[in-house]
């Protein structure tokens, strides 16, 4: 840990998931690698399928996770970069057109920003808001397939956009939980996009790849091709539904079902020996229950195959099913299931690997960070650092600092004397009353 780093350079990412709330603090070192200063991970009880369902429980989990990261980093944090996910996330394609005044001047970032800002004016269903506007290809004066038009000349510029929307209430509830924990939200990023930043290589994004992030409440899909996000989707099933199936199929408690899944679970029944038996303690003096490991694997495999059917359907719906040279990358807590990469390859026909977020970490990181469950948190950290370095967040930080630097006595005086226009009126009145015969 380098004590010379100032708080403004250190970024804190907050992953509010269905099964866990995770806070990670770190910065980018001189070699471009992430130095992790603090980690806090606690069980999440107030989130259902990626959406906040209980404010109090979520506030408690956020506070505990951030405090654990603060203790490890030995400093206090006030601003966090948060992820958003859930079944309410939707995506759509839209085309924007910009007619420029002069064909002699070069197309600049300002022209692209104008196109993007136009997309934010789209009429959406009531209760929805735009989270991300992602440019695809550009067309300049009928010249199609341009990925970066900056520096070109032309009058008519068109662009295809991938627009991701979410519910305003879901976003507001996350803001409320973070603020009630004594923190401020710097920005909000879609969690599948964050996961992709941490586990996918540039070559995979260029070749075409589907990132499947299997969380506790949802399974998020993000498709890349030619280095661009082409499709996003959320499947409302995750690891928790597998645990529920084990609970019902083996008639055990939900805590026992989760432990069985983590310790003995396999996504491929044919990889498990027939004669292995799991013994579960009985309830209050009852006989222990014996469960075949093979039957446990069959229950898990049936549900995982159903989730993979949804994944294949989304890939087909995107129109990129024959363009995924990079196949599928699995990440999230569900990727920890034994043999899930084999089952995914068999069931979908795509080459599959498990994505771990270690590629961008500096040497000497703790072993626990090599798990796929930290993919989203590390991705949010990387996105946060990019926003700070590009200046998109720094203005907000400076404004917050200015607010903090106003002396308490001055604030109390402002509250006591009222707004500026009342103060001006009062001073003018006092001046006239003091010198009523003054000539102008």
Task: Taking residues 126-133, report their average pLDDT.
Answer: 90
pLDDT for the residue 424: 65
Q: Which residues contact 242 (CB under 8 A, 6 or more apart)?
A: 261, 265, 299, 300, 303, 304, 334
pLDDT for the residue 241: 93
Which band of pLDDT confidence, cut at 50, 70 and 90, is reported for residue 199? very high
pLDDT in tens, 77-119: 889 999 988 888 888 889 999 888 877 788 888 888 888 888 9
Mean of the per-residue pLDDT values for the chain? 84
Which sequence spans correspond to the domains of the chain? 90-167, 202-358
Give the residue among 72, 67, 35, 25 at the shortest CA–CA distance from 380. 25
| CATH, range 90-167 | 3.30.1490.110
pLDDT for the residue 428: 66
Angle at 278 between CA 277 and CA 284, to 5 degrees: 130
CA 91 to each of CA 124, 230, 317, 330: distance values in angstroms, whole numbers, following the listed order: 11, 10, 12, 21
Instruction: Confirm if 312 and 212 have CB atoms less than 8 A apart.
Output: no
Instruction: Provide the β-strand partners of residue 233.
Output: 221
Of the chain, the percentage scoring pLDDT greater than 90 comes to 35
- pLDDT beyond 80 at 224: yes
pLDDT for the residue 435: 55
Q: Where are the beta strands (DSSP E) in 147-274?
A: 156-167, 184-190, 209-214, 219-225, 228-235
Which band of pLDDT confidence, cut at 50, 70 and 90, is reported for residue 210? very high
Rounded to 10°, the helix 239-250/254-264 angle is: 110
pLDDT for the residue 3: 42
Instruction: Confirm if 96 and 119 have CB atoms less than 8 A apart.
Output: yes
pLDDT for the residue 65: 92
- pLDDT beyond 60 at 440: no
pLDDT in tens, 396-427: 444 444 444 444 444 444 444 555 556 666 66
Residue 292 host element (H or E): strand 289-292
Instruction: Confirm if 29 and 216 have CB atoms less than 8 A apart.
Output: no
Pick the CATH number of 202-358 from 3.40.50.1820, 3.30.420.40, 3.40.605.10, 3.40.50.2300: 3.30.420.40
- pLDDT beyond 70 at 17: yes
Q: Does the pTM of the predicted model rise above 0.85?
A: no
Task: Taking residues 318-338, report their average pLDDT.
Answer: 92
Q: Give the distance from CA 34 to its chain's centroid.
A: 18
In Å, the largest CA–CA distance within the chain is: 108
pLDDT in tens, 275-298: 888 888 877 778 888 888 999 999
């Amino acid at each position: 840990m380098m004590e010379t780093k100032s708080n403004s350079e250190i970024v804190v990412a907050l992953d509010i998931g269905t099964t866990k709330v995770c806070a990670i603090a770190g910065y980018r070192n001189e070699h471009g690698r992430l130095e992790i200063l603090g980690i806090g991970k606690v069980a999440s009880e107030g989130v259902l399928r990626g959406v906040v369902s209980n404010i109090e429980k979520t506030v408690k989990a956020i506070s505990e996770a951030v405090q654990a990261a603060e203790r490890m980093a030995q400093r206090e944090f006030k601003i966090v970069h948060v992820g958003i996910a859930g079944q309410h996330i939707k995506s759509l394609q839209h085309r924007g057109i910009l007619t420029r005044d002069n064909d002699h001047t070069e197309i600049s970032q300002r022209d692209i920003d104008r196109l993007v800002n136009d997309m934010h004016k789209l009429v959406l269903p009531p209760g929805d808001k735009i989270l991300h506007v992602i440019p695809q290809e550009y067309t300049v004066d009928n010249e199609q397939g341009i990925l970066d038009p900056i520096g070109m000349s032309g009058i008519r510029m068109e662009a295809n956009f991938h627009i991701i929307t979410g519910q305003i209430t879901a976003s507001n509830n996350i803001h409320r939980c973070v603020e009630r924990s004594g923190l401020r939200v710097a920005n909000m990023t879609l969690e599948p996009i964050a996961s992709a930043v941490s586990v996918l290589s540039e070559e995979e994004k260029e070749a075409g790849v589907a990132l499947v992030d299997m969380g506790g409440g949802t399974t998020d899909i993000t498709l890349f091709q030619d280095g661009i996000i082409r499709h996003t989707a959320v499947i409302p099933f995750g690891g928790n539904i597998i645990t529920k199936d084990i609970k019902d199929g083996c008639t055990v408690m939900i805590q026992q079902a989760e432990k069985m899944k983590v310790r003995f679970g396999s996504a491929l029944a044919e990889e498990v020996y027939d004669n292995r038996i799991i013994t579960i303690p009985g309830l209050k003096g009852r006989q222990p229950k014996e469960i075949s490991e093979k039957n446990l694997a069959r229950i898990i495999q049936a549900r995982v195959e159903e989730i993979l059917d949804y994944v294949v359907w989304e890939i087909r719906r995107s129109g990129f099913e024959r363009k995924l040279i990079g196949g599928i990358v699995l990440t999230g807590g569900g990727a920890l299931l034994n043999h899930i990469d084999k089952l995914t390859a068999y069931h979908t026909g795509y080459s599959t690997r498990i994505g771990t977020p270690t590629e961008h970490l500096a040497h000497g990181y703790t072993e626990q960070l090599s798990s796929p469950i930290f993919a989203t948190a590390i991705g949010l950290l990387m996105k946060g650092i990019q926003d700070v370095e590009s200046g998109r967040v720094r203005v907000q930080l400076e404004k917050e600092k200015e607010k903090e630097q106003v002396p308490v006595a001055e604030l109390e005086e402002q509250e006591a004397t009222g707004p500026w226009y009342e103060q001006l009126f009062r001073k003018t009145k006092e001046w006239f009353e003091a010198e009523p015969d003054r000539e102008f």
